[in-house]
Every structure is written in C-alpha cells, then in structure tokens.
C-alpha cells in the first residue's frame, strides 16, 4: 500500500474508530467517515464530468468551425 494522504487518513480513522470504547461512538465515526467519502466522490465526479463536457464542447466547436470553412 502506497503512502498517500488518502491511505493515511483511512489508516488513522480506522485506528481511531477501533480504539473507541462504545459501539455508538464507533458507529457515529463510521457514519461520518462514509458521509465524508461520499461527498469527496461527488466532488470528484462533478469535476470529472465538467472537464469531459468542456472538452467535448471544445471538440464540437472545432468540428463546426471546420465545417463552416468548407
């Protein structure tokens, strides 16, 4: 496993969750962690989708410009 910031966060949060005394604290930590990862996934997908759409838009702009030149 590489030493990336995400892996460090996962390892730290896993040890923190496992060291909790009560089940409720561990459950709350896991729920918060899952919500955080879901939010990060949404942000990543939105950024990826916007970059794909902008590149497609640029592609179609170039294509329509070439069609007008003919």
Region 3-23 average pLDDT: 67
0.75 exceeded by the pTM?
A: no
- Name the residue ranges covered by the structural domains of the chain: 5-69
Confidence at 7, pLDDT banded by 50, 70, 90: low
The more confidently predicted of residues 13 and 41 is 41
| 36 contacts 52 by C-beta, under 8 angstroms | no
Chain CA centroid to CA 8, Å? 16
Name 30's Cβ contacts closer than 8 Å, sequence gap at least 6: 17
Give the residue-averaged pLDDT of 19-27: 72
Dump pLDDT digits (tens) for 52-70: 887 776 766 666 665 555 5
């Amino acid at each position: 496993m590489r030493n990336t910031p995400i892996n460090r966060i996962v390892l730290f949060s896993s040890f923190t969750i496992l060291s909790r005394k009560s089940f409720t604290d561990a459950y709350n930590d896991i729920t918060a962690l899952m919500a955080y990862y879901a939010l990060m996934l949404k942000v990543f997908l939105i950024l990826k989708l916007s970059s794909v759409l902008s590149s497609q838009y640029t592609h179609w702009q170039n294509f329509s410009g070439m069609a007008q030149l003919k």
